[in-house]
Structure 1
Amino acid sequence: MIVCVCRRISDRDIARHARAGMSFDEIQFELGVATQCGCCESCARDVVAQCSATRPVAALHNEVTAQPVQLANSIRESKAWNSSLHSQAA
């Protein structure tokens, strides 16, 4: 799912960097997330918080199919999610 519309940055892009051990500030510098309009900042921070590098990167390759569902649920519950757009898409 695209988190930052201004820079076309997905939750997977953010999660990949977070799992590599990068902080939100480092990810923001690297990808440019939340540097234009800023509407995506809370959602991007939620993704980083969920994917903090507490586990080795090699172990995460086995969880590729399970992780996006967890991220999508978190994003859907965040303040940045527009529920009217979600209900129209469903």
Structure 2
Amino acid sequence: MYVCLCQGVTEGHIRDAIYEGCCSYGEVRTATGVGTQCGKCACVAKQVVRETLSDLQSAQASLAYPAAYASA
């Protein structure tokens, strides 16, 4: 889905920026240009950033322990 029509930024572009190392909305904004023109997309873009960072943290937390410890 397109998040920013002005810059042509999709949810996928935002997620890719995070997977490539962006750790905040500001970094995603710099990397993708989202929210830099009219600004109407900023709320949705921030939500996508929050959800993606949360998903990444959850995935990393589940990998923090070896499988033998997780099933105990």
| TM-score between both structures, scaled by the size of structure 1 | 0.57
Unmatched runs of 5 consecutive residues or more in structure 2: 64-72
For residues 4-83 of structure 1, the aligned pairs below 5 Å read 4-22=4-22, 23-52=24-53, 53-54=56-57, 55=59
Identity of aligned residues (%): 32
Deviations 1:18-58 (A, max 9, x none): 233411101101111000000000000000000004245xx
Give distance in 2, aligned partners of 1:47 and 1:19: 13
Q: What root-mean-square deviation, in Å, do the aligned CA atoms of Structure 1 and Structure 2 show?
A: 1.8
Give distance in 1, aligned partners of 2:49 and 2:20: 11
Give distance in 2, aligned partners of 1:21 and 1:46: 17
> Does the residue aligned with 1:3 lie in a helix, a strand or coil?
strand
> Which amino acid letter does the alignment assign opposite residue 46 of structure 1?
Q
Count of aligned positions: 57
> Which amino acid letter does the alignment assign opposite residue 15 of structure 2?
A
| TM-score between both structures, scaled by the size of structure 2 | 0.70
Unmatched runs of 5 consecutive residues or more in structure 1: 60-90
